[in-house]
Amino acid sequence: MKKSLSLLAIVAGAILLQSCGSAINNLPVFYTPAAVSNDVSYMPKPMMSDSVKVKNYISGSFSNSVLPYETAEMLTGFVNYNRSHVLKNLNFSYGGFAYFGGTSRGYENSTRKVSEEYYEKGFHGFGLRTSVGFAEQSGNTEFRILNWENSLSFEGGNYAEFRKNVRSKADPLAIAANQTTLFTTGGSTEIIWYGKKNRDRQYGFRLFLGTTVGLQRNINYTSEKINGLASDFSFYLKIRNAYGILSSGANKLSNSGKITLGYAF
């Protein structure tokens, strides 16, 4: 009798584990636009204490980003330009960027299986960025209290076509945003200061929070939903005319890390 009960328990346990494993492996993959966590980016500006109040900034960036739930990754390169002005306590910037990259096999998620068609898809695009804000100065520190930032970008390439095809198939395990135009807007706050012994060195931290208009509605067309604000946290370092930026971005559970090197003139 005891042997029969033990055998029954083993069989029941095996069936339960198999059913749970099957359920876990049947979770959907979300395919978001290529630039979704990188479209908003830190835009350098002169400090109120700088003798030159108008400057141009040109830079190159490299980004590694992941799809929601870390199911797969993308590698992206950027070329950025912006022109910035300071008028007393007001600062504003405007500029553009171009980007290109592709999907890769950097992640393996055992519970959410990425389509083989996802890999080795290229993408490219371009966009515009603006920023306007109000600042106060105290000693060698500038508090950029509130900034309004915007980005408008356009995406093309094989990855954009792949997302459109996934959307048309209505597969519950493959959920894709077919949006190729992104408008992200929101607010940021920043603290920036120069070295007391060396005014040519500037250091800054900035936090942006906002939303990409229409993206949540576009990708949440099934019973499975994702959400989350667009965010970007950046560290800025400038030495004379050269500068670097380290950024961490997120949007709708997509995450990215980005490094930027540039020159101001």
Which of 95, 114, 107, 119 minimizes the C-alpha distance to 44? Answer: 95
Confidence of residue 107 (pLDDT cuts 50, 70, 90): confident
The reported pLDDT for the residue numbered 196 is: 87
Angstrom distance (rounded) from CA 102 to CA 118: 10
Whether residue 15 is predicted with pLDDT greater than 90 in this model: the reply is no
Residues 20-24 have a mean pLDDT of 45
- Rounded to two decimals, the pTM is 0.88
Q: How far is CA 87 from CA 46, 53, 131, 158, in A?
A: 10, 7, 14, 44
Indicate the average pLDDT of the chain. Answer: 91
Residues 45-66 have a mean pLDDT of 97
Whether residue 106 is predicted with pLDDT greater than 90 in this model: the reply is no
Instruction: Name the amino acid, one letter, at 187.
Output: G
Whether residue 24 is predicted with pLDDT greater than 60 in this model: the reply is no
Indicate the pairing of strand 174-176 with strand 29-31. parallel
The reported pLDDT for the residue numbered 12 is: 45
Angstrom distance (rounded) from CA 46 to CA 202: 10
3-class DSSP string for 4-53: HHHHHHHHHHHHHHHHHHHHHCCCCEEECCCCCCCCCCCCCCCCCCCCCC
**Domains (ranges, CATH) in the chain?**
29-264 (2.40.128.100)
Confidence of residue 176 (pLDDT cuts 50, 70, 90): very high
Residues 172-176 have a mean pLDDT of 94
Confidence of residue 197 (pLDDT cuts 50, 70, 90): confident
Confidence of residue 25 (pLDDT cuts 50, 70, 90): low
The reported pLDDT for the residue numbered 111 is: 87
What are the tens digits of pLDDT across the range 111-148? 899 999 999 999 999 999 999 999 999 999 999 999 99
What are the tens digits of pLDDT across the range 202-227? 999 999 999 999 999 999 999 899 99
The reported pLDDT for the residue numbered 255 is: 97
The better pLDDT of the pair 18, 192 is held by: 192
